[in-house]
Structure 1
Amino acid sequence: MYGKCRSIDQSQHVFDRMLIKNSISWSALLGVYCQNRDFETVIRIFREMEETDLYKFGTVLRACAGLAAVRLGKEVHCQYVRRGGWRDVIVESALVDLYAKCGCIDFAYQIFVHMLVRNLITWNSMISGFAQNGRGGEALKIFEDMIVDGIKSDYLNFIVVLFACRLVAILVW
Structure 2
Amino acid sequence: MGLLIPRGWTDAVGLSDHAYHLLAVSTGAVAGLAAAAGIAVLVHRRLTVPAVRRAMLKSDHLMYAFLLGAMALGLAATVLNSTGQTGGYNYRKGVSVWFRSLFALSTDYQLMAAAPLVFRLHVLFGFTLFALIPYSRLVHVFSAPLAYLVRPFVVYRRRDPGQLAARPPKRGWERVS
Q: Same fold (TM over 0.5)?
A: no
Structure whose alpha-carbon radius of gyration is higher: 2
- The structure in which a higher percent of residues are helix is 1
Of structures 1 and 2, the one scoring higher in RCO (CA 8 A, sep 6+) is: 2
> Structure 2 length normalisation: TM-score?
0.29
> Structure 1 length normalisation: TM-score?
0.29
